[in-house]
Amino acid sequence: MSETGFENKWRTDLAFGSVGVQLAEVEHPLEIYVGASDLGRPRVQVRSAARPALPELADVVVVDRAQHGPAWVLTLTLQDAQFLEVFIRLAVDVVDRTRGAGSEDDALRLMSAVFAQWRRLLTPTPLHRLGIEALRGLVGEIWFLCRRASASHAFGDALAGWLGPLGSPQDFYYASSGLHEIKAVGPTARTVKISSAEQLDAEEMELIVLMAPQVPQAEGDAINLLLLVEEAVGRLDDSGVGRGELDARLKRLGVDLTDDYYGETWFKVQSVSTYKVTTEFPAIRAQELVLGVEAVRYELVLSALEPFKTAYEKV
């Protein structure tokens, strides 16, 4: 997903309370408008001659389809402000992925495929015990939040940029530094797993790989999920911010913090490798998929990423 320009103006208009919608791009096979409802809620509208399919999205987005004269209008309105950045990135993805369509019908089919992929991302996970690799990944994300992102942002702002649990393909987004995808791997890992074609589909972003082996509790600097959550809550308290946004993210990931497992499984972050994801970076990108291909998952060989490494740090 690329930053095309309309989303920055959209953010500004929303911040100033503007209502109504404006065309996202003039030269585009679909009339896609972005803005806000009369109540100030973020909104996307797609106007077309053909009847669009009605997408099924998470309950935080109200979807409406109506015919106005010869034209159809598909309207998506966001109900929960904490999902704003994810909603904006959904709109950017729709604009990007339909831009090259040869006709309105083709663009509508591509748009439906985009909505289907985002529905999976936006759907909350029921409470369950995370497997060891999923837990390692979550520990890595919260470690990055507490030990890296918060070094350059107030902690509440750092937390607001943690968008992965809210449905964004990438883990973190900050206006000052862009997109960051965090991966935590064990000491014998040869590859890093990429969970979707959207995850590295950006013109400029960072892939950050943490070496985080599982260790005994007695190991120096050992951490577990509960300790990191406690650290985050303490930082939020110091900032005068409640823990609601943190709890909401953990709930959407299906994490039950009362499970002793999360306090008994220890890791240690030993190193941090940062890679610059450019157009030459080896990745499968959503914009390049043929219609009908969905739910792409793949692995990148770490040794092949060396030319893109921009930093390495022992912790």
Convert the pLDDT of each residue in 85-124 to its tens digit: 889 999 999 999 999 899 999 999 999 989 988 887 777 7
Mean pLDDT value across the chain:
92
| CA gap 1, 198 in Å, rounded | 7
What's the average model confidence in pLDDT over 128-155? Answer: 96
301-304 long-range Cβ contacts below 8 angstroms, 24+ apart: 301/190, 301/191, 302/185, 302/189, 302/190, 302/191, 302/192, 302/209, 303/190
Closest CA to 117 of 137, 138, 140, 89: 89
Same domain, 97 and 141: no
- Beta sheet of 178-185, edge-to-edge order: 172-174, 178-185, 205-211, 271-277, 309-314
Same domain, 149 and 247: yes
Tens of pLDDT, residues 251-277: 989 999 999 999 999 999 999 999 999
How many independent structural domains does the chain possess? 2
Same domain, 114 and 140: no
Tens of pLDDT, residues 229-246: 999 999 999 988 889 899
Residue 71 lies in a domain: yes
Q: Specify which residues 71 forms β-bridges with.
A: 68
Same domain, 113 and 136: no
Closest CA to 20 of 42, 44, 40, 36: 36
Residue 1 lies in a domain: no
Q: How far is CA 254 from CA 75, 126, 132, 170, 268, in A?
A: 30, 5, 14, 18, 23
Domain, as residue range, for 204: 132-314
Same domain, 209 and 137: yes
